[in-house]
Structure 1
């Protein structure tokens, strides 16, 4: 769908709203499309609600609607389905799901933001398709809708005419991708610069997830092993060492991890070490080699490879992105940023 041609008319974007919708899920995409109008794109954005009335968002803010769902009768370009924190309740709203189906039937492209993916899935629109939602709800989406191929680390996913995006601000990433598709990279880049956001953010949403807790296990022996790894990730937790401490054979230990944790011992240990390193990078000033030794990676190079493999960013970039917003650091800490960059390069 390439509309980047002379004389092309404005593209119509319909944003569905409903009581309890998340505010930024709505305003983020709208801001992208309306900003594009000043920078080389042409969009007509309208807000639709079931009855055409205003709705109260989850933030308590009132949003007015431009049109009733039933009054949308002509084909148009993009449908945006936002989410809301009470997505489980929304899935029981048959009228809302029917509104999603009706608007989708007239749209050339249907896109969801955050938990809006549940509404698309509940409406039967994601069967057999790849999709993403907020990292907190990825597992629920996969369990409730097993025909949906959930990609938990993606920021946004396109599968045919369907697009889904991850948590909240990822709706901006998705909308920028649509602007690029419609009007070209130059316009999308201008919008991203105007909004002071990444045109394509580094890494996936794994880097935003909370620290994983020690998995629950029915096996007391395995629980003790999992606890020991979590409490001291820097210790030498090889399969042989863990098996010996538990009084189990290597084969038995591997089978327990597969059955109870759903991964291998080596992968579990690496994940715990990765999360421990994230905490140190966010909260401390230790150089990367020290962080690597304290968390069991041994060297800054091993730490760097693990970060790039799992999170899509280097340790130095992670520290710069997540320790602070940067307010008040402009000149005083420029040397610190240079040091982190140099360390990362050496890693």
Structure 2
């Protein structure tokens, strides 16, 4: 294989971020040495420019009708125009056709509507943006809609929850296709955290609450989530912040409802869930990458958080 052909499907009133999170991540992977490199193109009906939901106009590289396989990855964007797109028999037919010719198929946000209209999600577990999930489930009882995770892999089809979750899913693809180090380089290039685990809740510790109003707490949280393998003991965090352990704990409880230790444990466990689902690293390697002292420490934290062991979690993800 000389290139990994990736086609992103857009339409009138698609979401620009849904598209850019995928394309920019894959082009970034090329810059950092993806092998084989990704050949990324935007396909639209008739190859016409599309006006995104925010008013920006995108020029297509290909007409959807003229795209032929085999493709490595087919990605369908979401956006406020998703219902019209899902009702467009031409778009749906060509997405269905290309899915048969693709190694991997994905949707971002409400792009799941187009996959559903094409029959690609029948009998599968899928997600979409939390604001749309209830309506989506009511329209498609044949799909096991789970509004919780930021992305779901079911066989060769993936659905991402919404907008920037496309970044997490695409980073997971980069890691799957290449290795964890390349994905980390791309994440650093994009100035984003290590990609969130797919089963992390859309309303998780990183997204549910507003950023801590206290600047000191915010800086400590940013340090934690960006340096999971470092010494993140309460004493080390307090020393780095220039406050006492008691004061730091009081601030965390007031602003986040968690002690520093519990916050660190949860962040590390969520990151471990991602690595278990998207890499072949041994459990001990996952534990080390995420800052756990041993595989047993990871196991205890994982059972407490998810109710199953890391190995059983990985097996369940693989079988899906």
Tell me the TM-score normalized by structure 2.
0.65
Following superposition, the deviation at residue 106 of structure 1 comes to: 1.7
Contact 2:7/2:75, CA 8 A, preserved across alignment: yes
2:18 equivalent to 1:25:
yes
Q: What corresponds to 1:62 in structure 2?
A: 57
Match of 2:7 among 4, 7, 14: 14
1: CA distance, partners of 2:49 / 2:135: 30
Give 1:70 deviation, angstroms.
2.1
1:34 equivalenced with 2:27 (yes/no): yes
Instruction: Check whether the contact 1:130–1:149 (CA below 8 A) recurs between aligned residues.
Output: yes
Secondary structure of 1:37's partner?
A: helix
Answer yes or no: is 1:206 the counterpart of 2:183: no
TM-score, structure 1 as length reference? 0.60
2:140 maps to: 145
Greater radius of gyration (CA): 1
Question: Does the alignment pair 1:97 with 2:92?
Answer: yes
Runs of 4+ residues over 6 Å off in structure 1: none
The reply on whether 1:345 has 2:260 as its aligned counterpart is: yes
Q: What residue number does 2:288 align with?
A: none
Aligned pair count? 232
Whole-angstrom distance in 1 between the partners of 2:123 and 2:27: 33
Change (3 A) 1:191 1:284: closer
> Can you list the C-alpha shifts for 1:28-65, whole angstroms capped at 9, x where unaligned?
10000000001121110011111011111111111111
CA distance in 1, matches of 2:133, 2:30: 34
Q: CA RMSD in A?
A: 3.0
Q: Indicate if the aligned counterparts of 1:18 and 1:50 stay in contact, CA closer than 8 A.
A: yes
CA contact (8 A) 1:113 1:171 kept: yes
Alpha-carbon contact 1:69-1:103 (below 8 Å) kept: no
Equivalent in the alignment of 1:307: none
Written as runs of structure 1 = structure 2, the 5 A alignment for 1:28-177 is 28-41=21-34, 42-177=37-172
